[in-house]
Amino acid sequence: MPETTPAVRPARPHFSSGPCAKRPGWSPQNFSTDTLGRSHRSKVGKARLKEAIDRTRALLGVPDDYRIGIVPASDTGAVEMAMWSMLGARPVDMLAWESFGEGWITDVVKQLKLDANILKAPYGEIADLSAVDPAHDVVFTWNGTTSGVRAPNADWISADRAGVTICDATSAIFAQALDWPKLDVVTYSWQKVLGGEGAHGVLILSPRAVERLESYTPAWPMPKLFRMVKGGKLNEDIFTGATINTPSMLCVEDYIDALKWAESLGGLEALHARADANAAALHDWAESAPWIDYLCANPGIRSNTSVCLKIVDPDIMKFDDAGQRAFVKSMEKRLEEKGAAYDIGGYRDAPPGLRIWCGATVETADIKALGPWLDWAFAEAKSAL
């Protein structure tokens, strides 16, 4: 273990899993200011919201007959809108292999009071995807931000399904390939892979999802922020730039800037390649560090964005949960004091450990520089025990 601090610090020590690092070269001076101080319902405001939607469609390759809307309350708001508006029409399979999937189960079972078929797996593993019934609706998180486990593909979703698929893709989209014909609802927040600001979500609907909205009325009252149907028809205005509530136009400008940056790199393939390169660089370090290992043992379902690690040093593993968390916090404190890494502790509901964001806005050189600092922080924290 190193006894002195490493010679090179990450140029940008931002490894948080949300909000994530801003894109390289980010500056607010890149933004258009035409919309600031203007109504989002003005001609210029609606045009910029529509531009954000159109650039999203082009970058992600979203089919032309899918709707894209900007909605309130981040990815959480987008998922809740879909569940409250669509579920209850037929049985539902709820999948969870980390805390956000667990949260969707809580909402469906305790708030909507549906008799859901629940398919779970512990942190580091994945639910039995083969058990999903194509006659049922299904709700799942493509990439578990808090577990570092992702769906390997969408082969387990039937092309002839009767139900709708609701996919929380917030830590996957822009970094992992999504199979659009298999996904009826896709949600995300632009604060993840593109490094945007928080509080706004994106909701993408397939024609099958729209058909469900127009043919089914839930039994429960619908909050205003969740209402996507007007007079029995989809409110198309939401999907052309007329948001349900007031968005931050500054955040919209920031998102457009991130989309333009992604386009300048070469588009979606370039974003995927950057995330893969970052995850590979972190893997090279992890292979050389005997005190750390992946929370997800199976490389085939391991995330390339929210990489979750566990400490396997026997002297630390003998501590109880609280003791291990305290050790991780001591590492975090040292790294932050040195300006080497910010916000890398595992999620509060996850097993104790580290979580390193490897999305496209992170530079591979910074991941490579991070490894020695992690070794240093571990050695320093252990020597202080």
39-86 pLDDT per residue, tens: 999 999 999 999 999 999 999 999 999 999 999 999 999 999 999 999
Rounded CA-CA distance 362/55 in Å is: 22
Check whether 1 has a pLDDT greater than 50.
no
Lookup: tokens for 152: 């390997």
Instruction: Give the three-class secondary structure for 168.
Output: strand
SS3 per-residue string spanning 68-107: EEEEECHHHHHHHHHHHHHCCCCCEEEEECCHHHHHHHHH
pLDDT tens for each residue of 198-249: 999 999 999 999 999 999 999 999 999 999 999 999 999 999 999 999 999 9
Q: How far apart are CA 382 and CA 319, in angstroms?
A: 12
pLDDT at 3 over 90: no
Q: What is the pTM of this model?
A: 0.97
Mean pLDDT of the chain: 97
Task: Report whether 169 contacts 204 (CB < 8 A).
Answer: no
Instruction: With H, G, I as helix, E, B as strand and everything else as coil, classify residue 141.
Output: strand
CB contact burial 227-256 (16+ within 10 A = b; e otherwise): ebbeeeebbeebbebbbbeebbbebbbbbb
Find where tokens 């996904």 sit. 183
- Taking only the tens place, the pLDDT of each residue in 327-353 is 999 999 999 999 999 999 999 999 999
**Sorting pLDDT into bands at 50, 70 and 90, what band is 4?**
confident
H or E, element range at 336: helix 321-337
Span 276-298, mean pLDDT? 98
| Per-residue confidence band for 19, with pLDDT thresholds at 50, 70 and 90 | very high
Domains of the chain: 28-263 (3.40.640.10), 266-383 (3.90.1150.10)
Calpha distance 279→193 (Å, rounded): 13
pLDDT in tens, 140-197: 999 999 999 999 999 999 999 999 999 999 999 999 999 999 999 999 999 999 999 9
**Separation of alpha carbons 382 and 311, rounded Å:** 12
Residues in the chain: 385
